[in-house]
């Protein structure tokens, strides 16, 4: 893939500037605060019975929307030779639709601006976060809920090939969703377009600056921008002060060729088996459904609750929906290390129950489905990243999972630069050093990098 192919000058300038004559970054923050002030969100856990008749349990105990659309909570049996547990059963979100996560961009004065939305989601810890221009499941935009057509949908549906800057199928959380993927897409418009009340034009540099704060940029925005090929900045003179991310670009001596990394993935996919069998939710062992929750008998992992959502803005909207609430805050971390003058990410090949293709590239540490305090001895490198010295920390923020599905879930996102004590060789076999340029190559193809690794990549700043 040639660099010139897929990144425009305006794209680069957007990544490399926080100078926005329309809204400074401080103004964007004020505007989000203002959106938050104007809105009252009330999410109340209610008995499942209160979601009737819209959401109900079928004869097998699976929780479904009456229309058969949106998503359902079902049971699966997992059999695998990966990890310490050979077989388990669990609830999982089944949403066999590919949704849009789309951002509209527009070049103004040689800089590309991204149209983001201050969007309320019932699960958000702080009401409003910066979301893509369009965030819609097929059920949404096929108008199953008889609401209005999502704003800006037609721009994506009618986009011509030359308007498309990025268009990738990317995975969602493999431990929570059954083979779910979304269409991550960025398009460019040339014409004037309406900017509705809770939408705003920002640069990519600003998005990344905002993402260095807790819970401002939502997961959907993060996964879309993670695919922007910023590795094409290699060798380009920067107009503003360089950030640490700029040092990642230099790629003279990667530890492994791309062929070796592909071979590593192939061998792991051949070694690890993952057999998923659908089972009725009411037969999932060690889980129970009460009047108010689908939960693990020991309170571990997550629970599914029924939420009554009330949003007071100019009008009052009320609805009920299931939400998945994690049992604890999670941790994801990339360890990076300069080896032979080139920065590398320590990538983990991780099997998760809902993965589309057995395993994907995950961060060095990913503990979001169970308490990392209890398993810190069981998972490699957890202690190392938790004990990193301040000067090793490149990223340390709390980032939210998608608030339309997950209730107040935030995970700690860390990027840690390894010190000399960190091993270069003799890693466990499902770990490998991958350069930034190589990671970005894999990211262009579907189902190579998992959503947690993409979230971390989205946090890398060049300025």
| 446 near its own copies (CB under 8 A) | yes
Residues 6 or more apart whose CB falls under 8 angstroms from that of 415 comprise 333, 334, 336, 393, 394, 395, 456, 459, 460
User: Which range binds its own copies by CB under 8 A, 161-169, 193-201, 280-288, 387-395?
Assistant: 161-169
CB-CB contact of 174 with 87 (8 Å): no
User: Which range binds its own copies by CB under 8 A, 19-27, 79-87, 166-174, 398-406?
Assistant: 166-174
Report how many residues bind its own copies under the rule CB under 8 A.
Answer: 35
| 38 near its own copies (CB under 8 A) | no
| 5 near its own copies (CB under 8 A) | yes
| 213 near its own copies (CB under 8 A) | no
Candidates 84, 148, 259, 387; binder of its own copies (CB under 8 A) is 259
The HSE-up count of residue 165 (CA atoms within 13 Å, CB side) is 26
Q: State the minimum distance, in angstroms, from the CB of residue 165 to its own copies.
A: 7
User: Which range binds its own copies by CB under 8 A, 66-74, 200-208, 253-261, 309-317?
Assistant: 253-261
Candidates 269, 293, 380, 427; binder of its own copies (CB under 8 A) is 269
Q: State the minimum distance, in angstroms, from the CB of residue 389 to its own copies.
A: 33
Candidates 1, 213, 316, 378; binder of its own copies (CB under 8 A) is 1
Candidates 30, 154, 240, 357; binder of its own copies (CB under 8 A) is 357
CB-CB contact of 337 with 346 (8 Å): yes
Structure tokens of 286? 């060690």
Rg (CA), the chain: 22
CB-CB contact of 236 with 12 (8 Å): yes
Give the residue among 87, 302, 114, 88 at the shortest CA–CA distance from 224. 114
| 248 near its own copies (CB under 8 A) | no
Q: Which is nearer to its own copies, 181 or 303 (CB)?
A: 181
| 169 near its own copies (CB under 8 A) | yes
Structure tokens of 134? 């369009």
Q: Which is nearer to its own copies, 183 or 250 (CB)?
A: 183
| 263 near its own copies (CB under 8 A) | yes
User: How long, in residues, is the chain?
Assistant: 463
CA distance 109 to 41: 38
Q: Which is nearer to its own copies, 238 or 424 (CB)?
A: 424
Burial of 68 (0-12, 13-18, 19+ CB in 10 A): exposed
Q: Which is nearer to its own copies, 42 or 263 (CB)?
A: 263
| 6 near its own copies (CB under 8 A) | yes
Task: Name the DSSP letter for residue 414.
Answer: E
CA distance 438 to 229: 11
User: Which range binds its own copies by CB under 8 A, 1-9, 29-37, 291-299, 340-348?
Assistant: 1-9
| 161 near its own copies (CB under 8 A) | yes
| 82 near its own copies (CB under 8 A) | no
b vs e for 190-203, b when ≥16 Cβ sit within 10 Å of the residue's Cβ?
Answer: eeeeeeeebbbbbb
Candidates 40, 49, 195, 262; binder of its own copies (CB under 8 A) is 262
Alpha helix positions (H), 345-393: 372-375, 382-386
| 98 near its own copies (CB under 8 A) | yes
| 377 near its own copies (CB under 8 A) | no
Residue located via tokens 């958000």: 124
User: Which range binds its own copies by CB under 8 A, 43-51, 146-154, 162-170, 382-390?
Assistant: 162-170
Please write down the HEC assignment for all residues of 62-101.
CEEECCCCCCEEEEEEEEECCCCCCEEEEEEEECCCCEEE
Q: Which is nearer to its own copies, 198 or 430 (CB)?
A: 430
Structure tokens of 154? 């037609």
The residues of the shown chain that bind its own copies, judged by CB under 8 A, are 1-2, 5-6, 98, 161-162, 164-169, 183, 185, 256-260, 262-264, 266-267, 269-270, 356-357, 441, 444-448
């Amino acid at each position: 893939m040639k660099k010139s192919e897929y990144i425009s000058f305006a794209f680069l300038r957007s990544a490399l500037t926080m100078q926005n004559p329309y809204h400074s970054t401080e103004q964007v923050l004020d505007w989000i605060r203002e959106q938050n002030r104007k809105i009252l969100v009330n999410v109340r856990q209610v008995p499942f019975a209160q979601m009737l008749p819209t959401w109900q349990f079928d004869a097998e105990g699976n929780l479904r929307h009456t229309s058969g659309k949106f998503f359902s909570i079902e049971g699966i049996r997992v059999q695998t030779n990966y990890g310490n547990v050979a077989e388990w059963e669990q609830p999982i979100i089944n949403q066999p639709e590919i949704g849009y996560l789309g951002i509209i961009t527009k070049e103004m004065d040689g800089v590309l601006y991204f149209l983001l939305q201050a969007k309320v989601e019932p699960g958000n810890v702080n009401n409003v976060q910066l979301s893509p221009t369009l965030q819609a499941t097929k059920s949404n935009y096929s108008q199953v809920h008889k609401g209005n057509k999502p704003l800006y949908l037609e721009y994506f549906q009618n986009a011509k090939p030359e308007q498309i800057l990025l268009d990738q199928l990317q995975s969602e959380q493999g431990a929570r969703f059954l083979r779910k993927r979304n269409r991550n897409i960025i398009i460019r418009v040339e014409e004037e377009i309406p900017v509705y009340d809770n939408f705003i034009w920002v640069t990519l540099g600003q998005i990344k600056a905002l993402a260095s704060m807790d819970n401002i940029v939502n997961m959907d925005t993060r996964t879309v921008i993670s695919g922007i090929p910023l590795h094409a900045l290699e060798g380009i003179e920067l107009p503003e002060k360089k950030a640490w991310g700029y040092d990642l670009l230099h790629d003279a001596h990667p530890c492994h060729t791309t062929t070796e990394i592909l071979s590593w993935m192939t061998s792991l996919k051949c070694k690890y088996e993952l057999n998923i069998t659908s089972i009725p939710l009411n037969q999932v062992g060690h889980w129970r459904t009460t009047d108010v929750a689908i939960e693990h008998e020991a309170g571990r992992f997550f629970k599914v609750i029924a939420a009554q959502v009330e949003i007071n803005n100019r009008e009052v909207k009320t609805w009920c929906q299931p939400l998945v609430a994690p049992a604890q805050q999670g941790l994801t971390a990339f360890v990076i290390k300069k080896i032979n003058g080139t920065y590398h990410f320590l990538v983990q090949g991780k099997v998760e129950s809902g993965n589309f293709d057995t395993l994907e590239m995950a961060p060095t540490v990913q503990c979001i489905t169970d308490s990392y305090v209890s398993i810190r001895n069981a998972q490699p490198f957890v202690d190392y990243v938790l004990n990193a010295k301040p000067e090793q920390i490149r990223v340390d923020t709390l980032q939210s999972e998608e608030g339309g599905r997950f209730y107040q879930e935030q995970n700690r996102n860390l990027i840690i630069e390894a010190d000399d004590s960190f091993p270069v060789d003799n890693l466990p076999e499902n770990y490998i050093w991958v350069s930034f340029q190589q990671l970005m190559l894999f990211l262009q193809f579907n189902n190579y990098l998992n959503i947690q690794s993409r979230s971390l990549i989205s946090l890398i700043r060049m300025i």
